[in-house]
Amino acid sequence: MDSQHSNVFKDQESTSTPHPSGLSADSWEGTETSSEVSEEHGVGWTPEQAEQSKLALDDALDLTARHAERMLREVGGVGMILIPLDARLQPLDGLQIALDHIPPTSGARRFRVEDLARNVLKAAAGYIALAEIWQAPAGRARKPSEHPEREEGVILQAETRARDCCTRLYAIIRRPGEPPTLALADQSRESAPGLFGGLLQVADAVTERSCLLDDRLLQTALAAHAETIHGLRHDDLLMFAVGANLVQVIGSEHTVRECTMLRLADIKAKATAGDERARRLYYELTAGRGVLQRVERGVDGRETVKMKFPSEPGWFAAMESGLNRVSVASDVMEEEK
């Protein structure tokens, strides 16, 4: 990732005492968001209950840090991970954005994380989000591999509906001939605004039907694609045009959403400029049977996205989505056997 304080985070001015490594839990980037959590959770708790909740969150953070350390040893990187917590604040299966799929700008990263939050945090009691960071001298090349002297870390941020928050920064320690380890460098009982802040509010704000298009046009388009929609599987997505906008019908529950990451006008512009692939996409989206995407997960948790035109039998593209499913608790317990 680029910038001298690389990757996922910003070199904001820190309000905490910096660690000697130069890494600080307050110096990272994203869109400003509120760290307040729903008032209905945690109100009226006894001091003992509040303390138990705080200890449970600490245990979940410890477990997640050990999982990140294992990932550094086994696959060489962490990327970004969002992990929901259950009612006992135990980590559930989370989703990882692989390092080479992390968007290059802070706004795009926040958009990506919010998209994950809408899918995995709606019924969660809390979450832990983590990402790998690195820092190198100013005015130098921007690739981590070009900085053998770089300082590396892993940042963890947790929030719960009981208004418990914690931000931790771990330094990555590398010694010749030994696997990398994590050392706690900084910790705060606050939720820093930015990339991982306020994700429970993002999840709670999602409506079951987030499509604001003209209903008559939408119903006409849904009827025209009814045959394909009826056959959608759980991990399928059908995309087609409704007027000047793109709409997605998602999964076997047929959730309808307006597409916000791809614009029909951009595809049309490319098609007009002579791009043959864009011409075909534009035709299928506007006058054909749409574009079908299917997500398939391998035994290693990696996701592959396949694409096809419903008007044709074969799939014309397959690519890694950049999302991997991670199971923190089971992986750590397996390591301890």
Report the distance separating Cα 102 and Cα 104, nearest Å. 6
Counting the structural domains of the chain, the total is 2
User: Which of 205, 234, 252 is a domain's end point?
Assistant: 205
Per DSSP (E only), the strands in 80-173 are 80-85, 94-97, 126-135, 151-160, 165-173
- In this structure, the answer to whether residues 201 and 52 fall within a common structural domain is yes
Radius of gyration in angstroms for the set of CA atoms belonging to the chain, rounded to a whole number = 22
- 198 conformational bin, left if phi > 0, alpha if psi -120 to 50, beta if neither: left
Statement: residue 2 has pLDDT above 90: no
* Long-range Cβ contact pairs of 134-138 (< 8 A, separation 24 or more): 134/6, 134/7, 135/4, 135/5, 135/6, 135/22, 135/23, 136/4, 136/6, 137/4, 138/4
- In this structure, the answer to whether residues 176 and 235 fall within a common structural domain is no
- In this structure, the answer to whether residues 115 and 134 fall within a common structural domain is yes
User: Which of 181, 205, 229 is a domain's end point?
Assistant: 205
- In this structure, the answer to whether residues 160 and 237 fall within a common structural domain is no
What is the residue range of 301's domain? 215-325
- In this structure, the answer to whether residues 230 and 295 fall within a common structural domain is yes
Express each pLDDT in 133-175 by its tens digit: 877 555 554 555 555 566 889 999 999 988 889 999 999 999 9
- In this structure, the answer to whether residues 229 and 193 fall within a common structural domain is no
Report the distance separating Cα 109 and Cα 105, nearest Å. 6
Sole residue written with tokens 């910038």: 3
- In this structure, the answer to whether residues 126 and 193 fall within a common structural domain is yes
Residue 67 forms part of a structural domain:
yes
Distance of CA 122 to the CA centre of its chain: 14
Express each pLDDT in 9-55 by its tens digit: 333 333 333 333 334 443 344 333 333 333 344 556 788 888 888 99
Angle at 312 between CA 311 and CA 317, to 5 degrees: 115
- In this structure, the answer to whether residues 55 and 191 fall within a common structural domain is yes
- How confident is the model over 273-299, as a mean pLDDT? 88
- In this structure, the answer to whether residues 116 and 182 fall within a common structural domain is yes
